[in-house]
Amino acid sequence: EAQVTQNPRYLITVTGKKLTVTCSQNMNHEYMSWYRQDPGLGLRQIYYSMNVEVTDKGDVPEGYKVSRKEKRNFPLILESPSPNQTSLYFCASSLLAGGSYEQYFGPGTRLTVT
């Protein structure tokens, strides 16, 4: 089954404790992206990657890191989480060929930073 998986689905942590949210896709997509969803703000793009070892900042990259060492994986790293990073996080992937970038989304990770 074609899918994007994220782990963990739920995470409660404390300020300053480094964490990683994993994202993996099995569709051989070149493009992967991370978003955060906050009430009234919709989805905001954090980082995206056009292929292995190629990443770039979205609209809200501060406080986040990413890496793309393999085509299928795109982990999101919070080196020192803060309460304002409490949010619902989505990973997504798409093909680049054809130019449409129709996104396939993971199920989401709900993060709470206390």
Partner 1 sequence: AQSVAQPEDQVNVAEGNPLTVKCTYSVSGNPYLFWYVQYPNRGLQFLLKYITGDNLVKGSYGFEAEFNKSQTSFHLKKPSALVSDSALYFCAVRDGYKLSFGAGTTVTVRA
Give me 35's structure tokens. Answer: 């978003």
Query: Per CB under 8 A, which region of 15-23, 42-50, 62-70, 71-79 contacts partner 1?
Result: 42-50
Of the candidate residues 11, 19, 22, 44, the single one contacting partner 1 (CB under 8 A): 44
Tell me how far the alpha carbon of residue 80 is from its chain's centroid. 16
What are the residues whose beta carbons fall under 8 Å from the beta carbon of 23, sequence distance 6 or more? 4, 5, 6, 32, 34, 73, 74, 75, 76, 91, 106
Of the candidate residues 53, 56, 70, 79, the single one contacting partner 1 (CB under 8 A): 56
Confirm or reject binding of residue 62 to partner 1 (CB under 8 A): no
Which residues form the interface with partner 1 (CB under 8 A)? 4, 31, 33, 35, 40-45, 48, 50, 56, 58-59, 90, 92, 99-108
